[in-house]
Amino acid sequence: MTKPRTCAALIACAVSVLLPFRAAPAGAAQLEEAARGSRSLRVVAYVAGWAMPAVIHGEKLTHINFAFARIGPDGRAELADSALEANLARLVALKQTNPQLKVIVSIGGWRADGFSDAARTAASRGVLADSAVDLARKHSLDGVDIDWEYPGQGVAGIRYRAEDRQNFTRLLQAVRHKLDLASATEGRSGGDRYTLTIASADREYFDHTEMDKLHVYLDWINIMSYDFFNSLTATTGHHAGLYPAALASPTDRNADASVKQHLAAGIPAGKLLLGVAFYGRGFAGVRSLNNGLNQPYQRYEADHPYAELAERLIGNPDFVRYWDERAKAPYLWNAESRTFITYDDPQSIAIKADYVRSNHLGGIMFWELGQDRDDELLDVIVKSLHR
């Protein structure tokens, strides 16, 4: 789902860990009422199948995207092992007490190979489409999410071809067709029909896809409006900034620019979900100018789940929190170690929720639920979207 990381567990087919899991008890009445008050605004949580949260408050969510299924050697979508299957079953069980909740399987992820081959011919597209439907039926799911990172690009070390651009559109058309047939056969209609979504990105993604054509096959698009600065960028910066930083260069990326690019392609605003990061990115050996913002660095330090930031670093006297009013983004700076950390927090997320409402977008997606601390960020999303 995200760009380069230091944690091997975030590769789609990493070792799966079966963790204790239980549905949340009844409560949080105000949040539940807000979450159910306007189903037109989606709250979509990616949940890592290898790191399941012990408690999931399904009443606060409209959709869960289970990460990840993979494309096997035979070109079929599959879950890597029985532990993933068991964890997926635990998510599906949440629907018994949360009838509004939909559970979707996400196929792909960072460094997930096989898409270029699967999309190459009509026959191979049919194999993947059929297997995606089979996967949804077998596990009582509500849809399929395609997270191809990235068509026509080898940045993740995967096989790619120039014709991925057109073949991606054809693949989505094939999957849409098979899902619609399955919906008709099973009598699923309206909000119960099988959904098809993708995880999109910004400029480079648009350069290698036909977003103006493929969106007609999708129910909505999860914009990965984060990872703008990462281990592959030359400087630090806001990895999830809503707007350009005060010292940003003309080429710097931000969430607002990404949304506008989608709109310019003719995609309806209601089909767009703004992505929010439940983790930060750290850079070490950063030049001290401007408290480390938009500065060169010596090495990428680490990814930091928000729960870790909240417990160890936010409020730590060694780390000073700064707020970029133009970008609407926080960051942490340790002057002694010259460590810079960019992240989303309750303040920036509340502003993003207001942005979603003001621009009539379809809701918020976030990566990923297990990185939150006691639903601190999720609660901000729910309250801010529905106030």
Long-range CB pairs of 45-48 (<8 Å, 24+ gap) are 45/365, 45/366, 45/368, 45/369, 45/378, 46/1, 46/106, 46/365, 46/366, 46/367, 46/368, 46/369, 47/91, 47/368, 47/369, 47/370, 48/9, 48/10, 48/368, 48/370
**pLDDT value of position 3:** 54
Spatial contact of 160 and 116, defined as CB atoms under 8 Å apart: yes
Does residue 210 sit in helix, strand or coil?
A: coil
pTM flag (> 0.85): yes
CA distance 280 to 154: 24
CA distance 29 to 199: 31
Catalytic positions are: 149
| pLDDT per residue rounded down to tens, the chain (387 residues) | 655 443 333 333 333 333 334 444 434 444 344 444 444 899 999 999 999 999 999 999 999 999 999 999 999 999 999 999 999 999 999 999 999 999 999 999 999 999 999 999 999 999 999 999 999 999 999 999 999 999 999 989 999 999 999 999 999 999 999 999 999 999 999 999 999 999 999 999 999 999 999 999 999 999 999 999 999 999 999 999 999 998 877 677 999 999 999 999 999 999 999 999 999 999 999 999 999 999 999 999 999 999 999 999 999 999 999 999 999 999 999 999 999 999 999 999 999 999 999 999 999 999 999 999 999 999 999 999 998
The residue ranges of every structural domain in the chain are 8-278+345-385
User: Which overall architecture, per CATH, does domain 8-278+345-385 show?
Assistant: Alpha-Beta Barrel (3.20)
**pLDDT value of position 105:** 99
